[in-house]
Amino acid sequence: MNEQERADRHEIRKIVDDYALFADRVDNESLADLFAPDGVLRIFERGNPEPVRQRIGRGEIAEAIKGLSRYDVTLHVVSNHYVEIEGDVAAGESYCRASHIRPVEGGVPEARENYIMNIRYLDEFIRTTEGWRIAKRELQVEFTEVSPIL
């Protein structure tokens, strides 16, 4: 691996990690800036070949990320990152276990639960004048879990 490829891999991995960090902070503008100006975020549920939601461009993506503020806290843990780089484009895949702490529906006011999304991100990256950016991210919800917070 040459120095350029090492630097590219590092920059792309930072984008993947920053996405999780900015999602947890509900820093929607910084998260949207990780995408190319015409970047695409598509959300899929297991078994459904069509996205349940799609956002195109930084403005739509930033607006969508604001929705994470409905949770008391989120924690996105990213692992199993793989990337294949060919010149100025790259394809990647990574896993994420995302915890979303929320009130228990119909429960006592202080009751909370952890809604866990087990996610596979399928990414396309592009080198731009701003550096590497996400051209397309397909967020595939593989399965979910709900557990009480004790």
Q: Strand, coil or helix: what is 144?
A: strand
- Summarize the confidence of residues 8-34 as an average pLDDT: 98
Domain residue ranges of the chain, discontinuous segments joined by +: 3-148
pTM of the model: 0.94
Question: What pLDDT, on a 0 to 100 scale, did the predictor assign at position 98?
Answer: 98
What confidence tens digit (pLDDT) does each residue in 65-90 have? 999 999 999 999 999 999 999 999 99
- Note the pLDDT of residue 107: 72
CB 96 within 8 A of CB 142: no
Q: What is the largest CA-CA distance in the chain?
A: 58
The third-level CATH classification (topology) of the domain covering 3-148 is Nuclear Transport Factor 2; Chain: A, (3.10.450)
Q: Is 123 exposed, middle or buried (0-12, 13-18, 19+ CB in 10 A)?
A: buried
Q: Is the pLDDT of residue 105 over 90?
A: no
Please report the pLDDT score of residue 1 as a whole number: 80
- Residues 7-31: what's their mean pLDDT? 98
Percent of residues, the chain, with pLDDT higher than 70: 100
Check pLDDT > 90 for residue 138.
yes
The DSSP string of 56-88 is EHHHHHHHHHGGGGGSSEEEEEEEEEEEEEETT
The average pLDDT across 133-142 equals 97
